Structure 1
Amino acid sequence: MNDEGFGKGSHLHLIDGSAFIFRAFHALPPLTRKSDGLPIGAVAGFCNMIWKYINDARGSDAPTHVAVIFDHSSKTFRNDIFPDYKANRPEPPEELRPQFPLTREATVAFNLPSIEIRDFEADDIIATLACQARELGGRVTIISSDKDLMQLVGDGVEMLDPIKGKPIGRDEVFEKFGVYPELVADVQALAGDPTDNVPGAPGIGVKTAALLINEYGDLESLLARADEIKQPKRRQTLIDNAEQIRISKRLVQLDRETPIDFAMATLEVKDPDPEVLMEFLNRMEFRTLTKRVAERSGTTAPEPLAPPPEAAAPAAPQFAPVDCDAYETIRDTAALQRWLDAIRERGMVAVDTETTGLDEMQADLVGISFCTEVGNAAYLPLGHVEGTADLFGGGAQAAGQIPMDQALAMLKPVLEDPAVLKILHNAKYDWKILARLGIRMAPVDDTMLMSYVLNAGLHNHGLDELAETYVGHRCQPIKALLGSGKNQITFAQVPIDAATRYGGEDAEITWRLWQHFRPQLPAAQVTTVYETLERPMIEVLAGMEMAGVQIDSQHLSRMSGAFAQKMAALEEEAHGLAGGKFNLGSPKQLGEILFGQMGLPGTKAGKSGALSTSADVLEDLAAEGHELPARILDWRALAKLKSTYTDALPTFVNPDTGRVHTCYSIAGAATGRLASTDPNLQNIPVRTDEGRRIREAFLAPEGRLLVSLDYSQIELRILAHIADIPALKQAFADGIDIHAMTASEMFGVPVEGMDPMIRRQAKAINFGVIYGISAFGLARNLRIPRAEAQAFIDTYFQRFPEIRAYMDRTTTEAKAQGFVRTLFGRRIHTPGISSSGPAAAGARRAAINAPIQGTAADIIRRAMIRMPEAIEGIPARMLLQVHDELVFEADEAAVEPLIAAAREVMAGAADPVVHLSVPLVVDAGSGRNWAEAH
Structure 2
Amino acid sequence: MAKKQNAPRLFLIDGSGYIFRAYHALPPLTRASDGVSVGAVAGFCNMIWKFLSEMKGSEAPTHLAVIFDKSEQTFRNELYPEYKAHRPPAPEDLVPQFPLIRDATRAFNLPCIEMGGFEADDLIATYARQAAANGATVKIISSDKDLMQLIVDEVIQLYDPMKNKALGPEAVMEKFGVTPDKVIDAQALIGDSTDNVPGAPGIGPKTAAELINTFGSLDAILERANEVKQQKRRETLINFADQIRISRQLVTLRDDVAVEDKWEDFAVREPDPGMLLTFLEAMEFRTLSRRVRDYYSKEKGEEIVAQYAAAQAAAPQAAAQSTRAPGRVVEAVEKEFKRDAYKTVRDLPTLEAYIARAKAAGAVGLDTEADAHDATRAQLVGLSLSLGANDAIYVPLAHRGADSRAGELFASEVPAEKAAPDVGEQIPLTAALAALHPLLEDPSVVKVGLNVKWDIALFAKHKITLAPYDDPMLISYTLYGGMDDHDKFALIEKHLGHELASRADVTGKGKAQITFDLAPIERAVAYSCEQADAALRLWRKLKPELGAERLVTVYETLERPLPPVLAAMEREGIKIDPQMLSSLSGDFAQRMAQYEAEAYGLAGREFNIGSPKQIGEVLFDEMKLQGGSKTKTGAWSTDESILSGLAEEHALPAKVLEWRQLSKLRNTYTEALQAAVNPQTNRVHTTYALAASTTGRLASNDPNLQNIPIRTEEGRRIRDAFIAEKGNVLVSADYSQIELRLLAHVADIPQLKQAFADGVDIHARTASEMFGVPVEGMPKEIRNNAKAINFGIIYGISAFGLARNLGIEREEAGAYIKKYFERFPGIRDYMESTKAFAREHGYVQTIFGRRIWVKGVQSKNHQERAFGERQSINAPLQGAAADIIRRAMVRLPPALAKAKLKSRMLLQVHDELVFEAPKDEADKLCKLAKDVMEAAPEPAAVLSVPLTVEAKAGASWGAAH
Q: Deviations over 1:876-918 (max 9, x none)?
A: 0111111111111111111111111111111111111111010
Pair 1:698 & 2:722 matched: yes
Instruction: Give the counterpart of 1:679 among 703, 707, 713.
Output: 703
Give the letter aligned to residue 881 of structure 1: Q
Whether 2:570 is the aligned partner of 1:555: answer no
2:444 counterpart letter in structure 1: A
2:390 maps to 375
SS in 1 for 2:947: coil
Cα gap change, 1:395/1:539 in structure 2, threshold over 3 Å: closer, same or farther? Answer: farther
SS of equivalent residue, structure 1 residue 717: helix
Aligned equivalent of 1:838, options 863, 868, 873: 863
Q: Equivalences for 1:449-848 in 2 at 5 Å?
A: 449-623=474-648, 625-835=649-859, 836-848=861-873
Distance 1:692 1:717 in 2: 26
Contact 1:456 1:827 (8 Å CA) reproduced = yes
Q: 3-state SS of the aligned residue for 1:932?
A: coil
Q: How many residues align?
A: 628
Deviation at 1:743, TM superposition (A): 0.9
Tell me what 2:464 maps to.
439
2:939 corresponds to which letter in structure 1?
Answer: P
Report the alpha carbon displacement of residue 688 of structure 1 after superposing the two structures with TM.
Answer: 1.1
Partner of 1:428: 453
Contact kept? 1:319, 1:472, Cα under 8 Å: no
> What's the counterpart of residue 908 of structure 1?
935
Aligned-partner Cα distance in 2 for 1:618–1:827: 37
Cα deviation per residue 1:181-233 (whole Å; 9 max; x = unaligned)? Answer: xxxxxxxxxxxxxxxxxxxxxxxxxxxxxxxxxxxxxxxxxxxxxxxxxxxxx
1:727 to partner: Cα distance? 0.9
User: Taking structure 1 as reference, are residues 442 and 759 closer, same or farther at Cα in structure 2, changes over 3 Å only?
Assistant: same
Query: Counterparts of 1:698 and 1:597 in 2: how far apart (Å)?
Result: 44
CA contact (8 A) 1:384 1:397 kept: no
Match of residue 165 from structure 1: none
SS where residue 930 of structure 1 aligns?
coil
Shift of 1:559: 0.1
Name whichever of 865-874 and 409-418 sits farther off.
409-418
The verdict on how the C-alpha distance between 1:320 and 1:306 changes in structure 2, with shifts beyond 3 A counting, is farther
Distance 1:399 1:436 in 2: 26
1:46-65 alignment, distance < 5 Å: none
Q: Distance in 2 between matches of 1:388 and 1:373?
A: 33
Give the deviation of 1:313 after TM superposition: 6.1
Tell me the CA shift for residue 745 of structure 1: 1.2
> CA-atom RMSD, angstroms?
2.0
Structure 2 residue identity aligned to 1:723: A
1:610 maps to amino acid: A
The alignment status of 1:365 with 2:390, answered yes or no, reads no
- Identity of paired residues, percent? 52
CA distance in 1 between partners of 2:405 and 2:680 (Å)? 21
User: Which amino acid in 2 is paired with 1:880?
Assistant: L
In 2: Cα distance, 1:486 partner to 1:811 partner: 51
Q: Pick the aligned partner of 1:339 from 343, 354, 375.
A: 354
Q: 1:571 to 1:604 in 2, by over 3 A?
A: same
8 Å Cα contact 1:352/1:507 also seen in 2: yes
Residues 653-710 of structure 1: per-residue CA shift (max 9 Å, x gap)? 1111111110111111121111111111111111211111101100111111101111
SS of the residue 2:555 aligns to: helix
* Shift in Å, 1:854: 0.5
Structure 1 residue 572: Cα displacement: 1.1
Partner of 1:505, secondary structure, is helix
Q: CA separation in 2, counterparts of 1:657 and 1:927?
A: 22
Which amino acid is 1:317 matched to? A
State which of 917, 922, 932 in structure 1 corresponds to 2:944.
Answer: 917
Offset at residue 497 of structure 1 (A): 2.1
Give the 3-state SS of the residue equivalent to 1:318 in structure 2: coil
Give the CA deviation at 1:397. 5.6
Asked if the contact 1:368/1:379 (under 8 Å) is kept, the reply is: yes
1:569-625 CA distance string (max 9 Å, x none): 1111111111121111111221121112211013333311222111111100112x3
CA distance in 2: counterparts of 1:306 and 1:807, whole angstroms: 46
Provide the C-alpha distance between the structure 2 equivalents of 1:689 and 1:613, rounded to a whole number of angstroms: 24
**Contact preservation (8 Å) 1:705, 1:926:** yes
- Secondary structure of residue in 1 paired with 2:741: helix
Query: Which 5+ residue runs of structure 2 have no aligned equivalent?
Result: 1-308, 316-326, 407-418
Q: Distance in 1 between matches of 2:848 and 2:839?
A: 20
Is 1:329 the equivalent of 2:344?
yes
Match of 1:387 in 2: 402
Separation (CA, whole Å) in 1 of partners of 2:632 and 2:359 = 59
Amino acid at match of 1:357: A
Q: How does 1:860-875 map to 2 (within 5 A)?
A: 860-872=885-897, 873-875=900-902
Deviation at 1:785, TM superposition (A): 2.1
Shift of the alpha carbon at 1:546?
A: 0.4
With over 3 angstroms needed to count, the CA separation of the structure-2 counterparts of 1:375 and 1:589, relative to structure 1, is closer
Does the 8 Å CA contact 1:665/1:676 hold for their aligned counterparts? yes
Structure 1 stretch displaced more, 869-878 or 838-847:
838-847
Q: Is the 8 A contact 1:765 1:778 kept in 2?
A: yes
Q: What amino acid is aligned across from residue 437 of structure 1 in structure 2?
A: H
The separation in 1 between residues aligned to 2:888 and 2:870, in whole angstroms, is 27
Task: Provide the rounded CA distance (Å) in 2 between the counterparts of 1:542 and 1:655.
Answer: 19
Q: Which amino acid aligns with 2:814?
A: Q
State the shift of 1:307 in Å: 4.8
Counterpart in 2 of 1:349? 364
Query: Are residues 921 and 315 of structure 1, via their aligned partners in 2, closer, same or farther at CA, if it must alter by over 3 Å?
Result: closer
Secondary structure in structure 1 of the residue aligned to 2:930: helix
CA distance in 2, matches of 1:827, 1:927: 38
Picking from 912, 916, 920, the partner of 1:893 is 920
Tell me the CA shift for residue 434 of structure 1.
1.6
How far does residue 345 in structure 1 lie from its aligned partner after superposition? 2.0
Structure 2: how far apart are the matches of 1:647 and 1:385?
Answer: 34
Partner of 2:140: none
8 A Cα contact 2:929 2:951, kept in partner: no
Q: Is this contact kept in 2: 1:348–1:421, CA < 8 A? A: yes
The answer (yes or no) to whether the contact 1:602–1:612 under 8 Å persists in 2 is: no
* Alpha-carbon offset, residue 535 of structure 1: 1.0
Alignment of 1:208-247 (within 5 A): none
| Structure 2 counterparts to residues 37-436 of structure 1, below 5 A | 307-308=313-314, 316-388=331-403, 396=421, 398-436=423-461
Hey, what's the Cα distance between the residues in 1 that align with 2:402 and 2:904? 43
Question: Residue 439 of structure 1 aligns to a residue in which SS?
Answer: coil
TM-score, L = length of structure 1? 0.66
Contact 2:599 2:656 in 1 (8 A): yes
How far is 1:532 from its partner?
0.8
SS of the counterpart of 2:703? coil
Tell me the CA shift for residue 423 of structure 1.
Answer: 1.1
CA distance in 2, matches of 1:731, 1:678: 41
One-letter amino acid matched to 2:805: N
Q: Secondary structure at the match of 2:882?
A: helix
For 2:927 and 2:404, the matched residues in 1 are separated by 54
Distance 2:692 2:517 in 1: 29
Aligned amino acid, residue 566 of structure 1: R
- Counterpart-to-counterpart distance in 2, 1:313 and 1:408: 27
Give yes or no for the alignment of 1:448 onto 2:473. Answer: yes
